[in-house]
Structure 1
Amino acid sequence: MVLSFDRWVGKVAIVTGASSGIGAAIAEQLVGKGLKVVGLARRKDRLDQLAQKWNGKKGKLYPLKTDVSKEEDILNAFKWVKDNLGPVHILINNAGILKIGSLGEGDSKIWENIFKVNVLGLCIATREAVKDMKANNIDGHIIQINSIAGHQIPSFPGLNVYPASKYAVTALAETLRLELNSAKSKIKITSISPGAVSTEIASGNEDFKDILENLVKEKLILDAEDIADSVVYALSTPLTSRSKN
């Protein structure tokens, strides 16, 4: 199999949750390879800092303040991309949250927010990307940043509804794959399921502190750059002979 990233140079990629961790690592690699990367996140100041830091690279980061738990924000972001940059070729659904808690005594507001970000926001962004790709006859690529927790429940305390949200991502990726195949679409869908990654989603939870420190000590944890590498690999795989982009 011949790998090549050349076809994406100069194209538009949207990365959700791009202000830190995996999202920032993915955005940095794509900017470095010459893409127009639209970074979506709530922390616009962090995005602005990254855009300035990466100024001079082959591509460019376009920061957009976006809360993916809000449909209106996502729709506005896609409209801005359409009006200012053109069709979307790549969507990386990376935004995700994890809040410690229990199912037996959980907070329904926390549950709701986890599903809004990890599942509904992903669904809405995916829908908008597919619509845009179809409207512009583009055989694009959608990548869902999933988790090993979307395939097997880890024996960590307090994961709450996080594994359930990631199981949903697994089902959604496969459902979309079958849907696109049925329509004879050449849009590609990839689901990437890392194990533990050293990012804010883990380090920001005090209950995970000891677990995280042990994983680092035993070298059983991935870096955000490892996931970015896997995204670049997936995007470099061959398209079909019918590709339009």
Structure 2
Amino acid sequence: MANTARYYFVTREEAKKVLDACPDAQWRLVFALCRFGGLRCPSEIVRLTWSHIDWDNGRMTVPSPKTEHHPGGESRQIPLFPELVPHLQEVFEQAEPGMEFVITRYRCSNQNLGTQLRRIIGRAGLKPWPKLFQNLRSTRETELAEQFPMHVVCTWIGNSQPIAAKHYLQVTAEHFQKAVQNPVQQVAALHRGSAQAPRDVQADGASRTGNDAERGDASLGTHEDISMVGATGLEPVTSWV
């Protein structure tokens, strides 16, 4: 069972503060690729080349050493999400001609990106969250699960639905807000409707003649019509497949 106490949903407001605190365009792209692309850091990010970026079709191929031992798992394709494009373009414009790799400044094995990210988060006025990079992926997968079918989301993130459910998908404060907000609005609407109902009924009754009432009752159908509905309800009876 996953330790939900170590989950942390990095809001878009927090992400913007971190991006603003990043020292350069490449660090902004590293963070954006994790938060809005769901990439693993550093394994997938340092392998990303400009040939993996398909600007015309709005897609990006992500090389994935973690899943390459599975059939077809050596890479996956994800959309060029709108949140990624400006950061990719900025780094592309700054790249030297003929440069192969997207990220060039933070590739050395002795560079601890986690330590650097903690400092950046501190400069942003935020408290570093647990599992820095995994919670960025977890946050993105939780967001995407609200918008797209789960099999699509897992294809983009590069994990399976059981793994996503156990280790990535989070219950957020927004979920609780939505659950509370909608029923309250519905109850308020019902109270407003019940308060208006007596006047509506009275006005309607006053405007109808006896013949009108008879025609209105007839529109409901005869006793024989109603009895033909049957005990199974309004939907046609079908056999199980």
Q: Structure 2-normalised TM-score? A: 0.24
Higher strand share: 1
The structure having more radius of gyration, on CA atoms, is 2
TM-score of the superposed pair, with normalisation by structure 1: 0.24
